[in-house]
Structure 1
Amino acid sequence: MTASLTALGALPPVSLEELVGTAALLTRVDRKYVLTPADAAAVLGRLPDARVLTIGGRRTFGYDSLYVDTPDLAGYHLAARGRRRRFKVRRRTYTDTGDSWVEVKTRGPRGSTVKERVAADDLAGARGFVDDVLRSSGVGDLTDRELVPVLGTRYSRSTLLLAGARVTVDTDLVWRTPSGGLLPLTDRVVVETKSGSAPSAADRLLWRSGHRPARISKYGTGLAALHPDLPRNRWHATLTRHLQETS
């Protein structure tokens, strides 16, 4: 993955405080692209006025997430069927600092993603927060439903700030099951743009370069890849093209 990350080395830095202050974007439109390292490097090196998050001289940071769902995978099935009211719940840990957050993702107007989160080391301690978010978002009341660990992910991320948008660059993605099984997405970079309703400069550059958004969800795609018996039509093209090509 060095080609894509090398392209970030020439970009000027931006601090975490400025990044959060100008583009927190907890309600946003997400567009995801799955690229080879060479294609990612070509695009990243041409982004206009981009700056890269830099903390203590580091530009790449480790992420570790644990996703929970009901035992019958209600959240997964809502996403697999493309339902308007759907959700994801995870504990995200920033491995460089050890800070952890419990995050709930739901869908807002016009296909936007709404993320709400609270600082917490474990999901059980944040269950009240999770239930409140799900009720207020219209997903429904899950207070009587158990939420159990179903999938883990880890990867390295770099974050870019553009005018009115953020771009994340994820490399070395590995999915894992609670029982310890591992599935890496080798030789691929997941680039995600996060902006308002209008496409960002990064999206327009990606489109001009021949790249189109891909249906990839770290939760949905990973679970479908690890459990072929689950409905997977929503992510079939991504699984067939990118996972088979890298296996």
Structure 2
Amino acid sequence: MSAAVLDDFAAISLTELVERASLQTRVDRKYVIPSTGLDQLLTVLAADGARILEIDGERDFAYESVYFDTPDLSSFRLAATGRRRRFKIRSRSYLDTGSSYLEVKTRGGRSSTVKERHELDPDDARVLTPCGREYVGEVLGDAGIRSVDPEELSPVLTTRYSRATLFVPSSESRATIDTRLVWELEDAGDHPTGGRLERPAISVVETKSGNRASAVDRILWSLGHRPSSISKYATGMAALHPELSANRWGRVLARDFDRPGGPTTASRPLLAA
């Protein structure tokens, strides 16, 4: 993704983006596309009037997310089996601005994603404080998820990437483009890869809109791209732990992560809290 192409977009401030397209309750569609194809996509989006988030003159930002799960990986397993009442818990740090948030994502009606979050001290981004555990318990309880004990949650995986965020006025929607993707296990032990995975050749484009497809979705379709089943957390865990069942992400794992995505002969707890 070249800086020159990003410069073709008119800018939008963070304040205006939040006012016009915060979309905490939304439908997400994700696309895995070759990084070499990004400039074509961005050129079409710029011509369509999309605007790009700009903060202090910067348009491409470094992110770090730390994912928390139970010892038996409840969050991963619920996602892997497509359960309706599934959840995801992470801290998200915006490395360029120095701010961090604790986020709890659950599934709402009609397959929508509901995200709740509160601000963190950046020093607490890799732990769940007593306040954080209480917050997680409240949000999960409100979503009808009462089988998870927040006291059992611990960090299991970190992702790092660069993100550009676009706002599309025609559909009042937004999209993110993630590049330079890296995954790291929190407890790699004697993992054969060192518990680290890099995928610079792929990019993840995520559209965020209401129930209807956004203008970005339609542009992606016109360029021959279709939504993929991918979760940075679950796909990363499955790629780094081939003993985990991963049918749900099999196609992406086989194509982009060099891992066949069929069922496994064993399914066992991987990480102790």
TM-score scaled by length of structure 1: 0.95
Equivalent residue in structure 2 for 1:237, among 251, 259, 265: 251
How many angstroms does 1:216 deviate by? 1.0
Deviations 1:207-232 (A, max 9, x none): 11110001110100000001000111
> 1:172 maps to which residue?
180
Q: Number of residue pairs matched?
A: 243
CA contact (8 A) 1:94 1:100 kept: yes
Alignment of 1:36-47 (within 5 A): 36-47=34-45
How many angstroms does 1:39 deviate by? 1.9
- Provide closer, same or farther for how the CA distance between residues 194 and 129 of structure 1 changes in structure 2, counting only shifts above 3 A: same
CA contact (8 A) 2:107 2:113 kept: yes
Q: Equivalent pairs: percent with the same residue?
A: 52
Larger radius of gyration: 2
TM-score scaled by length of structure 2: 0.86
Alignment of 1:26-41 (within 5 A): 26-41=24-39
In angstroms, what is the RMSD of aligned CA positions?
1.4
* Paired residue secondary structure (2:163): strand
> 1:135 maps to which residue?
141
Alignment of 1:97-136 (within 5 A): 97-121=97-121, 122=124, 123-124=128-129, 125-136=131-142
Q: Which amino acid aligns with 1:23?
A: A
How many angstroms does 1:179 deviate by? 3.1
* Paired residue secondary structure (1:221): helix
In 2, the alpha carbon distance for the partners of 1:183 and 1:241 equals 15
* Paired residue secondary structure (2:63): strand
Long gaps (5+) in structure 2: 189-194, 260-273
Alignment of 1:173-192 (within 5 A): 173-179=181-187, 181-192=195-206
Alignment of 1:142-181 (within 5 A): 142-143=148-149, 145-163=151-169, 164-179=172-187, 181=195
- Provide closer, same or farther for how the CA distance between residues 223 and 111 of structure 1 changes in structure 2, counting only shifts above 3 A: same
Alignment of 1:3-82 (within 5 A): 3=2, 5-47=3-45, 48-82=48-82
How many angstroms does 1:41 deviate by? 1.6
Q: Which amino acid aligns with 1:179?
A: D
How many angstroms does 1:199 deviate by? 0.3
> 1:87 maps to which residue?
87
Q: Which amino acid aligns with 1:129?
A: Y
* Paired residue secondary structure (1:38): helix
In 2, the alpha carbon distance for the partners of 1:143 and 1:38 equals 43
1:193 counterpart = 2:183: no
Q: Which amino acid aligns with 2:15?
A: E
